[in-house]
Every structure is written in structure tokens, then in C-alpha cells.
Structure 1
Amino acid sequence: MALRSFSFGRVRPTVSSRRSSVAARAPLTVVASASVADLNAKFAIPGSVEFKEGKSGSTMVVLKHACGASAEMYLYGACVTSWKQPSGDEVLYVRPDAVFDKSKPISGGVPHCFPQFGPGAMQQHGFARNLDWAVSTTSADPNPDDKDPSVEVVLTESDYTLKMWPHKFKAVYTVSLHGEQLVCQLRVINTDDKPFDFTAALHTYIEVLAIEKAKVTGLKGLTYLCKAKDPKTPETKKEDRDEVTFTGYTDSVYLNSPSHVELEVGTGAAVALDSSGWEDTVVWNPHLTMKDCYQHFCCVENAKFGKAATVAPGESWTATVTMSVVDVTK
């Protein structure tokens, strides 16, 4: 069910109540391929952070805020698959063809595109969305009446990734609930002895009441790459609409987009995306190529695509998006 409640999150400073597999001054270690019981023993925070067996036996982490908001993320692909408001309304969308047995990336929620967005030299959207990420820390605000839960996961190079992308790296992904808001931060660290380039995106699926009622605002006047006809050789266009609506297949990358973009979902509510570090915005709906589900979601994605990120050895790149539900009827 698409959003029917209007709620406004509160961003508060984090973090105390912290669980980690290492002491404060020890080198960072991570826990990969651990059992749910082991993860809970090392990282669970009662009432705030819990690890569970999800669909097809895949491990997921559940964040719960005292206000009633919640989020779920699978460690496979570090894919956030649920973000609910205190009312119980789901904000994100997972496609009916999604599988959770690790045979392919999870189709829906907030999948990763790294170190390549779209088609290119390696597999579509890179490798980050079809690998297990390792848990490094969890945390929650110490205020017992208003805890802000958070989980940090890490992905590093392996023989599998080096065959596609010959670079050593550490990707650190932090997912938090700040009140009713969902906050996702990606940091990419170059642990190699040479610089590297990459493109990336958070491929966010947002549930809408009906695609013909959905509207994206904040993009007027921008140059965009229309990938609908050919994603490898997109057309360059300029957006002249106050509201981007959907009447057919849509796959557009808006370059140098503003930090604030909204998707009206058709119920009087909108999902606001406030970002830093992400320079572009992607708007996608598959229309009749996915007849059974296209009417129920729209992807509004934060991306780094128009100009690839370049990271020198020992340096890092960071991007954050804060998602909120807002009332657009006032």
C-alpha cells in the first residue's frame, strides 16, 4: 500500500550505545558469513538493532526506532528492502519477481550500483549488489526514549571483484533511522597504491499509488540523458516540465541535479530525497516491459554518473541521502 500518512522526521546527532567486534583502538574488523546468532551476540542492541533470517534463509538486519519507524536490510547486496513509517505504511517497493536466494541481485528496495552504474565494461550495475557485505558496527542513540538505530557494513576487494575491476578498495555503507527518516551513506576508500575511477548509484524503488499519479519535482531546467531508446548512447535533452510524469518507458539521468528532489506518490504525500555527494538524479519506470508491476513504483535514484568519481590512494569519496515523507497537500 502506498503512503497514506504524512510524517516528518527529525535528524538528531548520533551515536553512543555502540556494538563492534573490536575494542575502540583496535584495527577495524568485520564479521562476514556469520550466523544470525553470532551476529546478534556481537552486534544486536535490544529494541533497536536485530539480525534475523529473512527470505530464502538470507540474513537481514532490522532497525527499529522508538517513534515506530523501521527498516530492513539484507546483507546480500547491502540492500534495504523495507522502510516503514510509524503508521505502518511502507515507503519502498520490492518487485514481485525479486528473489532472495543470492542467485541474482534483489529487485527492489535500495540496491547498490557500484563501481559501475548501468551497462559498461563489467556486468550491469557492477558487483556490489550481488555480494555479501560484512557487518562492522551497530549503534543507537543512548536516550532510552528516542534511540536512533544504525548499522554499518563493509565490502572489500576479492578475487571475484579484481577480475572485473582491478583495484583494492573498502566500501563502507551506513544505514540509519533518524526519527522517521531513512539515512543512507556510502563511503568508498581507496586502499590501493594507484588512483581509481568509478560511477555509482542507489537504485531506490519507491511505492506509488499509481504511476500515472506520480510526479517528480525539482528537475526543471536540467540537462538530462534520455536512455530510453539506447542506454549505451543516450540522447541529451533539457527538462522543461515543472513536474516529471510518466506516460511511457522512462530512463533519464539528470545531471548536476539539486540536493532536494521530491516524488509525489499520488496520495497527498511525497518522498523527499535530500542528498550530498550524489551529483545526479536518475528517474526510471519500466512501463510495459514489466506489465505486472510498473504501475506500483517509480525509481528516483541518487547517482554519481555524469562525471565519474576519482579517488587517490588513501583518499575517500562520500555521499549521503536522507529520505523523508512529507505532506504536499498544504
Structure 2
Amino acid sequence: MGHSAAVWDYRAATEITKDWNGADKIVLRSPRGASARVSLHGGQVTSWRNDQGEELLFTSSKAIFKPPKAVRGGIPICFPQFGNCRSLEQHGFARNKIWTIDENPPPLSPNDSHAKSFIDLLLKPSEEDLKCWPHSFEFRLRVSLAADGSLALISRIRNVNGKPFSFSFAYHTYLSVSDISEVRIEGLETLDYLDNLCQKERFTEQGDAITFESEVDRVYLSTPNVVAVLDHERKRTYVIRKDGLPDVVVWNPWEKKSKSMVDFGDDEYKQMLCVDGAVIEKPVTLKPGEEWTGRVELSVVASTLCSEQFDVQRGMVF
């Protein structure tokens, strides 16, 4: 806590411990006291705390911490599909696999590592994976925590197969909120979306910010690279910046569906909201040797007035 960013040892701020199942867990820390935890089970970010130690990601009190079940909360990685539209398991297999630490990853931009604590993870398909999805790939994931406490995830997926393959993808981000009725999303106004509650029928969002009073399960299309989630009660705004992820999933199960999920509390829908950077409507197709990159950065800014507006173009509250 007493270190300045100039002398902070970012490598020493990355610690490897064990999670609830004995799999390696990586703890990232910032000089101001923020932290993030990443499990090798699913390559999943399971915790992101601000400088005051407040948890910013939601995890259900009924989450099942036992493979092959994915943990209900944090940021599961959905690959090679989002949803349940093929013979694969729901949201694909990446979130249920044990990843490895990538000791020698191909270089990223210096901006992706400078003044950040980070970890690089790697997933390759097993023989079992190839039976249900016969495509060879290398999935590299970097999770980093900046000095200001912002959290970034960078996914690089390379086709090492002899033929093209296609996939969909999402960072299934469970944000912790005070009360879903006090939350709004800005940046998705007037956009088209696919409504999963209406057989993926296409609708157009109205001109107002999105608020919540019932179950929502939508995929917004051709979205801007900055979206904001404003929590009025906590006077906090989540700023989501993304690249390579044209779609945004917005999901809250509300009361009825919450009661039907064994790994979710009956009233927990009030304390969470999923807002995911994603590629769903038009899946990515990679030719042999090609690589796709998709990144998301999550940050939090104070919002002092409920009437504030968010400038999506500038990524600022004013």
C-alpha cells in the first residue's frame, strides 16, 4: 500500500496459490490495494476488488465450486460457443477445462504489460475435446490489473488446424450491483438486439437508457466500444471498453428463473447484472494459421449524481 507505481514490483505482485479444488489460482495486486483472482479452472476471473477491498464481481452464494460445473459468477470464458446451439455443452467447454500458465507467450503490445500485474494462460484441446469439436486451436488469455485498479482480459485464439473453423465467444461478466432496480445501462440506445426470450427475434431498443423490471436476455448488435453500467445507489459506474467484440449480451434472470437454478439464490438477481463483450451474431471464422484477438477492459468511476449522463464516445461521466 505504501509503494508508488514507479517502484512497485509488478512481478512480485503476482502470486500463485490454490483454489477451492486444489487447482492453481493466481492473485494479482495493484500498488493502491486493488486485486483480482484468476483460477486455472476455466481460466476464470473469480474476484475483482477495488482499492477499498469492495468486491466488484458477483458470485452466487450457491455457486458449485466443483468441476466440471462452471462457477456461477465472476467472468467465465464462453468458447467455442455462447448459449446452447450445437452438440457442445452450454456456453462451450473452455470455462470447464483446466488451463495452464503460459510461460512464454507470443509478445503483446508494451501497453498491455507496462505498469500492470498480469498472468498469461493457455488452453489447448484435449483428445476428448477434439471428439466433440474437431478443431485444433491455441487459446491464449492474458488477465492484467493496472495501477488504477482497472481489469483487462485479452484473448488470442489461433487456428493450428488444417482447415477453417468458426466459433462464437463471450466474456460472461457478472457485475455486482446494489439493486437491479437502481441500475441502468448507457451506450446501447437505439440499437438492434436479439431477444432470447422471444426465440431470438430481432427488435430495436428505444432511445432511453436500459433499466430493469423483469427478466432480460438479449444480444445487442453492432455495439459501440464503450458501454457504461450506472449503479445509482452506490454512486458507481462500471465502464466497459472492448475491442474485437461487436456484440453485448445483457442478462438478468429475475425472480422466476432464479428459483429454477440450483446454483443461484432465489433473490440474488437483485444484486447482479451480466454485461458481456461478445461475438455471437456473426461467428468468427479462422483460416489455418490465422489468429483472432478480443479484449475487454473494466474500470470503475465515481458517479455523484443520479442524473448524470455518460459520454459513450469519450468514456466519461459528466
The TM-score range, normalised by the shorter chain, is: 0.7 to 0.9
Equivalent residues, number: 280
Deviation at 1:241, TM superposition (A): 3.8
CA contact (8 A) 1:138 1:150 kept: no
Structure 2: distance between partners of 1:103 and 1:130: 5
2:170 paired with 1:201: yes
Gaps of 5+ in 2: 106-113, 259-265, 305-317
Cα-to-partner distance string for 1:203-227 (whole Å, 9 max, x where unaligned) = 0000000010111110011100011
2:135 matches 1:167: yes
Kindly report structure 1 stretches of 4+ aligned residues shifted beyond 3 Å: none
The AA in structure 2 aligned to 1:211 is I
Spell out the pairing of 1:199-278 with structure 2 (5 A cutoff): 199-229=168-198, 233-266=199-232, 267-278=234-245
| 1:281 maps to 2:256 | no
Q: Secondary structure at the match of 1:243?
A: coil
Three-state SS of the structure 2 residue aligned to 1:137 is coil
**Structure 1 residues 97-112: aligned runs within 5 Å:** 97-112=62-77
CA–CA distance in structure 2, aligned partners of residues 228 and 120 of structure 1: 15
The answer to which of 261-270 and 187-196 deviates more is 261-270
1:59 deviates by: 2.4
Partner of 1:176: 144
The CA distance in 2 between the partners of 1:103 and 1:191, in whole Å, is: 26
8 A Cα contact 1:65 1:147, kept in partner: no
Structure-2 residue corresponding to 1:143: none
What is the CA distance between 1:129 and its match in structure 2?
Answer: 0.4
Q: Matched residues in 2 for 1:88 and 1:149: separation? A: 17
Provide the rounded CA distance (Å) in 2 between the counterparts of 1:138 and 1:205: 30
Contact 2:184 / 2:231 at 8 angstroms: preserved in 1?
A: yes
Are positions 1:135 and 2:104 aligned together?
no
Residue in 2 aligned with 1:187? 156
Opposite residue 107 of structure 1, the aligned amino acid is R
User: Equivalents in 2 of 1:82, 1:76: separation in Å?
Assistant: 14
**Cα deviations by residue, 1:70-129 (Å, 9 ceiling, x for unpaired):** 100110001101111111111111111212221301110000110001011111100000
Secondary structure, aligned partner of 2:218: strand
Name the structure 1 match of 2:309.
Answer: none
Cα deviation 1:5-49 (Å, max 9, x = unaligned) = xxxxxxx9xxxx89xxxxxxxxxxxxxxxxxxxxxxxxxx43x11
The answer on whether the counterparts of 1:195 and 1:312 sit within 8 Å (CA) in structure 2 is yes
Shift in Å at residue 265 of structure 1? Answer: 2.2
1:315 maps to amino acid: E
Displacement of 1:148: 1.5
User: Contact 1:66/1:147 (CA < 8 Å) preserved in 2?
Assistant: no
Alpha-carbon distance in structure 1 between the residues aligned to 2:128 and 2:141: 20
- Report the CA distance between 1:137 and its aligned residue: 3.3
User: CA RMSD, aligned part only?
Assistant: 1.9
User: Secondary structure of 1:55's match?
Assistant: coil
Decide whether the 8 Å contact of 2:68 with 2:97 is kept in 1: no
SS of 1:160's equivalent in the other structure is: helix
Question: 1:35 aligns to what?
Answer: none
Equivalent residues in 2 for 1:1-330, closer than 5 Å: 45-46=11-12, 48-121=13-86, 122-137=88-103, 147-179=115-147, 180-229=149-198, 233-266=199-232, 267-288=234-255, 289-290=257-258, 291-329=266-304, 330=318
Structure 2 CA distance for aligned equivalents of residues 63 and 138 of structure 1: 19
SS of alignment partner, residue 60 of structure 1: strand
What is the SS of the residue equivalent to 1:228?
helix
Look up the SS of the partner of 2:74 in the other structure. coil
Contact 1:282 1:300 in 2 (8 A): yes
Counterpart amino acid of 2:182?
K
Give, in angstroms, the shift of residue 258 of structure 1.
0.4
TM-fit CA distance, 1:303? 0.4
User: SS state of the match for residue 162, structure 2?
Assistant: coil
Once the two structures are TM-superposed, the CA of residue 312 in structure 1 deviates from its matched residue by 0.8
- Rate the CA distance shift 1:95–1:241 in 2: closer, same or farther, 3 A: farther
Q: Distance in 2 between matches of 1:322 and 1:187?
A: 15
TM-score relative to the length of structure 1: 0.81
Distance 2:115 2:80 in 1: 33
Please give the secondary structure, in 2, of the residue aligned with 1:115: coil
